[in-house]
Structure 1
Amino acid sequence: MFKVMIIDDEPIIRKGIKNILNWEKFDCEVCAEASDGEEGKILIEKYRPDILITDIRMPGTDGLKMISEVKALIPDCKIIVLTGYRDFDYVQEALKLGVFDFVLKPSKIEELTTIIHRAVEELKKLKNRAEEFNKLKKLFEQNIPILREKFLYDLMYEIYPNTEEILPRAELLGVKIESFFLLVVEIDTDENKKLSQYEKNLYLFGIVNTFMDVFSDSFSVIDVPLKDRGVAFILQGGNEKEKLHNLISDKCNYLQELLINCFGFTVTVAVSSEGRGIMQLPEKFRECIEALERKFYIGNGTVIFYNDMSGFLKFEDYSVLEEYQKLLLDGIKTGNEAIVMKRIEDIKKYINSLDHLNMEYLKNFYWGIITYINNIRLSVAMASNESKVESINIISLHNMISKSENINELNDLLKEVSLSITAKINNYNNKSIKLILRNALEYIHQHYSEQLTLNDVAEHVYVSPSYLSRMFKKELGKNFVDYLNGLRIEKAKELLMDPKYKTYEVAEIVGIPDAHYFSRLFKKYEGLSPTEYRDASMGE
């Protein structure tokens, strides 16, 4: 039941509202009455009504202030104001404060009933919405462990769609990663014996439970199952930093011993260097994968620390930069300056986050992108039928890149070249859109007197109907039908000036064979019927 409260300094008004309306019919009950605003405030705080019916002006009470306080206390409360004053400035101020509706005293019972009905319907919608929201919230909270696992998995494999959402998403899922080590535990499989899916899942379950037993007394542990790699574990904590290496090593050896004795299989464990913050998780995962690949030399059933691999030949992993390069080039090809600027900033931010910079590689990286951009420029010039194809001064740019001493200089060069070709592509695309639209409009003007459809016009200009429809809306601010009808009405106005044409003949000439529909359409656009328009025009 919804709670209703009535505030009015006239007892007869309060009694009338309480007794005349059938409150049960509206699923409501009158929970309290008050004769003035001060008493009303006390009862409002006590009962927190869903619907408040109140006089706006009562002795010793500022009605607007009271309404403001009620909305602050109960935002969803539907406030219905009763007033005998036709003070519309006062009414407008109350509406700004969120009053649901007004009733002027004396009021008809039907009018108040209608308002109460609307208020109850809105309250029911709010209640249903709140219930659905609570269901979704409960479902979300139940699935947080799964969502957290997928989030960390996507992050480690660098398939998270938007880097700007990582930190807010981590906070939402309760993932807090500061100083950490990443461990990847991989099952050592015999090439002659393939594990079934059931055996894999069973082994992984055993690894996770055993790992938690071994490590959870010294570390805070988050586990993340991996594709074909076993399980990753994020370790945080550990009291004495200088002894962490030995502590992790001892626990890993004990883990391996337990797994082989209890489950009969061996595992190799890769341990990353120390990471700081969730954004370094992908980098530490790459370190673990690189360490596991050295199992070829060290053997199965071992613990491999990434920091111990200094004797092996290492290659800098710039695969992330290659992905950023693809995203930048895709943005340039669409002619979207905002995307291009975002991608260039992403490249700069990522490079600045690297611990070690190989300037020669980076110069080659920037040179490769700019060379590719030059090829795009040549393609645009050819598509535009430019008589003289203007190319980038390759030699000059190469010298500038070679002489660059920092990332900012390289990035500024990339930005200049990227924005230049992006502007050309954007200009070309806009010209192409305008050309298509111009051809479509010419076709409509030639065939408006026929039974013309959007499909007919789209087929003529070689685009899809949906694409052409969006083009009309974006460029002309109206859809295809409105444009065609507007054109037909303009042509009809010209013909109506000639008395030799009857109204139904004008309708047929402009492509609207139904004379009644033509009359309705004409009046919609001009405010007059065709006959009235003709008479008015002749009179002038």
Structure 2
Amino acid sequence: MRSIILIDDDQNVIDALINHISWEPLSIKVQDVARNGEEALKKIKNNPPDIVLTDVYMPKVDGLHLIKELQKQFPTISVIVHSGYDHFENAKVAMRYGVKYFCLKPATVSEIEEVMKEITQELDIIETEKKLYQQFNVEQKQYLNLSKKALLKDLLLNRLASISVTDEKLELLGMTKKMKVIVSTLSLFRPHYLRKSDEREWQLMKFSAENIMNETFERNMEEMDIYLIDTSDSSFSIVSIVNESFQDFEKCNQRLLNELVQNILFYLKLSLQAGIGRIKDGIEGIYPSYLDSQKTLEAAEHQEINQIYTFDELHDQQLVPSNGYPFEWMLDIQLIIQKKDYKQLLVIWTSVENEWLKNNHPPLLFVQQICISIMSGLHMEIEELNRMNNMETMSDTVLKIYNQPSVNQLAMFMRQYLENWSMQTKEELTGGKSNRLIKQVKEYVHDYYDQEISLSEIANQLFVNKNYLSQLFKKVTGETFVTYLNHYRIDKAKEILKNNQWMVYEVSEMVGYQNSTYFSQVFKSITGISPSDYGNM
């Protein structure tokens, strides 16, 4: 229910308003009354109403001065001027202070009630819009945060190449390429008393640890943007981001990790280790910093638990071999897998065998972890290409890796596996199945070019991955799907324009373009002339 204060130096007017206006059906309650502007201002300051109905000419402080003060101090209060003087100057002054409602004495009950209805409706609309705006801001913030975390996870796990992230997408997410980043990895040690059958208890403990981390982050968000990424059953990655001018980034990040570890130890009594990667520039530095943190944890495996280790610290102590992990080769391999460059993949693996394995003699366990990392990227690509029915599961592949008794035999196994993957990928891109898929795409365009269609819609119809279909279409036809669709539609448009029976906007709709201006732009970019000129030829 809305509230109102009635202000008039004539008690008869006040009594008439109270007794004759149907306040309750209007959902308005008379909160108070006042005899002049001075008295009214005191009462309003004490308990602001939703609506004020005021006379103009009153002793001490008149209505116009009151309205001026309300506009300064309480701009959300709706004001009705109720005056017996039809002075245009007074109305102009009141309107300048935001007043929209006027009643000339003696106003009828129905006139006043009608004004009250308009005001309550307006207040309801304002209140609804405010709630919607607040809800939108909350949901937008949540969406942007989830989108950032999804992007960072894809970059962390190397499912997305940093070069494919556009400046526009970064700007939309409130990020920039000119930033510094540190990735830290937190490894939780599952208590020995929690067996595999106690999975629910372990997940609850992990969930509690995640809550503690998020609460800790909230106290440090003023210094850095911090994102928690769940990367495995027992580990989290923490991506800390600052702008390039920020000072003492490494110290701030170290302090955050210290607080984090202490909180988990205090509240959960859960043992852990943390590895901090080196500071890197831009989003392209996220994956290398993540690899640094992983490498740090591997080197700290036999060190004291419940501690934080940095890459540089262990490197200085020579616990991390300077030539131990083939970072550059691993980055190249992951990018090549994404590009499906099967020839180059074998070239890089040959370099790993001939240069890194032979010269460094790494332990079998170390090579197994590298092979598993490569296989993880391959299996994600296999799943995207819908080949899982013909390929073994990741768990089967890992088991085969661990069953290789020596580094040399593991290297031979990997070469054979990569050769098979390369051959199957080549068949996917050039074989008969590919041609059948492209033929189906073209048939779909031929049947539905006059409607709104997209490659996502066609991929769903054909039960294939959209990204795979897009790459396949360009590989087989030499052009993108959008280019093919536009050329097909323009060819149809040229046939229709030759008859000279239809307007340009009608032709636009007949070939699937809802926007005739865009249709004209596409037509001219392909043919070199406008649709109207073509029709007049």
Question: How does the TM-score come out when normalised to structure 1?
Answer: 0.43
The two structures have a TM-score, normalised by structure 2, of 0.43
